[in-house]
Structure 1
């Protein structure tokens, strides 16, 4: 089967057309600026295999809301997500950018456990950045670029803690800021220890505020919790990921379950390895 273009008398086989179309689609999907890189990240481009599986299984028109369950690896998963998101959206890797420097893609982290420390976060970001740059830091310019990118990435991860577990004013503030910014890319919101230490009244108000945020703003929300299911929140979850230790010896230490799919992975000081 051939296709004939009457204007140029150019012929093309069906196989050649398929290969050309496939190359064009691949080229179109390559991020060209921080905004398109942010969207690509949530189209199974995070590099964390089980999170990408969860992103791929999201089929609704809304942005994904993913809940991490289990007693292991939840904080490490959030650390790795935060690091990979800011590294993959850093402006220095693009020849041009359409995103203003002061409104680059952001990560908002709510830390109910108060376990994440700045040095740990910076180490994961730096390790992720080095892997992504794929360089041996051969000269002074490379070192300067690394330092500049590391600062840029770390400044776009905002960790929030509240003394009384009263998250409502913070959520209201974030919702207002995100709504007025009207960015053309999603913000990544991570919540470690989601609804674990809040009473019933507080949980109801938190869910109400989050539902407004999801409705009014362009956000991807990933929550992590070891507590019982919250049925009021369940209707917002688009995908669940269960994390557990891997019973099979001789392989990866941990196992993630996304629907019926089981994906092994490991953890190092640099984050999730999968």
Structure 2
């Protein structure tokens, strides 16, 4: 009987040049301005674990995420908006390569978001991001400027708005620049619109996705819309966690269940 000789495992060594090139690539991935930080937000992480899992799914286009379930959808959108403007605020960079800073466009079909709630979530997110208390007048002034900058870049459209002309207007405005993606959030997506209006909304959104650099996150408790399904790159289902003693909620992304909690300042995961 013959025996098969197993070759010993080969050792792997990294040359100094290879190490330098690998380190250089990592340094290049660090955002250097608001524009690169906006791209990094959807590539490297928003800080919300279940949304990051949805963003990381390989797709040739920018992600289109749909949130379903009966809990936490509005809080997820609030947290996304706050984290996006905080991570792209210009004061943390030495250079700003664009005059138009990354923006958040929020369509609110439920009218559940107030200016005070939005400002509170942005403020709490900003405090967590800088991880330091404001000790003197200069720091407090800078913090207030950052807070104002972040809140001014979140644009809210209410339910009474006619969505179709609004989307068409946004499409023409956003097509003028593509140096960074714009985050569009829609709470109560297609829930109270008539069928004819839904068809036109889907048509306008398809043009927006085709012509502009946007990341779209929609949230709805209504049944699936067949016209819109083909544009969705990932679905996230939010529900209460039946297991006690841990996080209160679960997010299902494909086959993975990711626990998370909600505080007065947004999503904790």
Q: TM-score, normalised to structure 1's length?
A: 0.91
In structure 1, the partner of 2:187 is 192
Q: What is the deviation of 1:56? A: 0.7
- The CA deviation string for residues 174-196 of structure 1, in whole angstroms up to 9 with x for no partner, is 1111112x131000000000000
- Counterpart of 1:7? none
What CA deviation, in whole Å up to 9, does each residue of 1:136-161 have, x standing for no partner?
11111110011000000000000001
Question: 1:77 corresponds to which residue?
Answer: 76
User: How much is the aligned-residue C-alpha RMSD, in angstroms?
Assistant: 1.4
Pairing partner for 1:183 from 174, 178, 182: 178
Equivalent positions of 1:57-206 (< 5 A) are: 57=57, 59-100=58-99, 103-163=100-160, 166-180=162-176, 182-206=177-201
- Pair 1:18–1:268, CA change in 2 (3 A): farther
Q: Note closer, same or farther for the CA distance 1:44–1:52 as it changes in structure 2 (3 Å cut).
A: farther
Q: Which residue number corresponds to residue 227 of structure 1?
A: 222
- Deviation (angstroms), 1:22: 3.6
Contact 2:110 2:159 in 1 (8 A): no
Q: Which residue of 2 aligns with 1:44?
A: 44
Aligned to 2:29: 29
User: Counterpart of 1:241 in 2: which secondary structure?
Assistant: strand
Task: Could you tell me which runs of 5 or more consecutive residues in structure 2 were left unpaired when the two chains were aligned.
Answer: 1-12
Q: CA deviation at 1:132?
A: 0.7
**Cα offset for 1:15?**
5.9
Q: Describe the shift of the 1:22–1:196 C-alpha distance in structure 2 as closer, same or farther (beyond 3 A).
A: same
Any stretches of 5+ residues in structure 1 without a counterpart? 1-12
Distance 1:15 1:48 in 2: 37
- How many angstroms apart in 1 are the aligned matches of 2:32 and 2:15? 28
| SS of 1:209 mapped into structure 2 | helix
Tell me the SS of whatever aligns to 2:95.
Answer: coil
CA distance in 1, matches of 2:246, 2:26: 33
- Per-residue Cα deviation, 1:207-235 (whole angstroms, up to 9, x for no partner): 00000100111100000000000011000
Secondary structure, aligned partner of 1:142: helix
Paired residues of 2:178 and 2:212 also in contact (CA < 8 A): no
Q: What are the Cα deviations for residues 17-70 of structure 1, in whole angstroms up to 9, with x where unaligned?
A: 55444422221111000000000001132000000000111x221110000000
1:65-115 CA-partner distances (Å, limit 9, x unpaired): 000000000000000000000000000000111121xx1000000000011
